Amino acid sequence: MIAYLVNLATLIAIFGIAATSLNLLIGYAGIFSIAHAMFFGIGAYVAAQVALTFSADFLVAALAAAVAAAALSLCLALPALRVRGEYFVAASLGLQMMASTLFAEAHGFTGGVGGLVGIPPARILGFDVASPDAFLVLALACLALTLLAVRTLMRGSFGRSLMALRDSESAAEAFGKDVRALKTLAVVIGCFFVGIAGALFAFHMAFVNVESFTLEQSVVLMAMVIIGGAGTLTGPLVGVIALLSLPAALSFLPFIPSTQIGTVQQFIYGALMTLLMIFRPSGLVGLSRG
């Protein structure tokens, strides 16, 4: 039981970083991307390759993963940022579908459908962090640093400019804001942090394949942000805890067959998102604030 709770807490910390990074786009900049799992996957694959071929030092692998995810987000998203609203959602959907195909076909880098196996345990400056407890501390430290960085950014002029952009892109542009530069920076910073989450995920699972970085994963990340409360610091964490705890809670209900838990889980995700959009668009944290 303790091992299960430690594993759940580690996953909550990892997906907390991923959801916080997506919240930077959706909640603060008003950029609705459904390609975030693609950059999560890029971070995981890069960290796995670094660990398998060069060094299992987490700092090296995480830095490489974050830089690669941020750089590729710049190359791939910059043309898409020329469009607004639903057109950007459609563009990000196309990127996500393209990435899923590339992940499955690029055997030399991703291992294809079979994925990359045998990722060595993480180390930091020669110290072993392979045990579940040590890795949980590492994941929580990364989550704390991510939250601190996002909080600092959003309290500065950059954050205020992003929120102005979110509230009215035309008005922000009329007041002299460089809308394209702000959007690009938001995407790059968000993907930098999700690259770190991908590195943590690769070391934690010791195995990565395309199934973890599909369109469905992008939708789940978006659900975590919206259900918890977009545009708030703690909202995405609340959403992550709620959605990752749901499978465990369902498994204790004797009238739900174990083979149907996934279906019931997807139904609840969809129902929660629909009801929150109708009755409480600000999410669970918004509800607690009244």
Alpha-carbon distance values, 7 to 13, 124, 210, 242, 272 (Å): 10, 20, 21, 16, 25
229: its two tokens: 């409360």
Phi-psi region of 54 (alpha: psi -120 to 50; beta: other; left: phi over 0): alpha
Q: What is the rounded CA–CA span in Å between residue 238 and residue 229?
A: 8
59: its two tokens: 């700092």
> What is the pLDDT at residue 290?
42
> What is the pLDDT at residue 170?
77
**Tens digit of each residue's pLDDT (9 = 90 or more) over 74-100:** 876 676 667 666 777 888 888 888 888
Report the predicted TM-score, pTM, of the whole model to 2 decimal places. 0.89
- Print the SS3 string covering the chain: CHHHHHHHHHHHHHHHHHHHHHHHHHHHHCCCCCCHHHHHHHHHHHHHHHHHHCCCEHHHHHHHHHHHHHHHHHHHHHHHCCCCHHHHHHHHHHHHHHHHHHHHHCHHHHCHHHCEECCCCCEECCEECCCHHHHHHHHHHHHHHHHHHHHHHHCCHHHHHHHHHHHCHHHHHHCCCCHHHHHHHHHHHHHHHHHHHHHHHHHHHCEECHHHCCHHHHHHHHHHHHHHCCCCCCHHHHHHHHHHHHHHHHHCCCCCCHHHHHHHHHHHHHHHHHHHHHHCCCHHHHHHCC
Low-confidence ranges of the chain (pLDDT < 50): 289-290
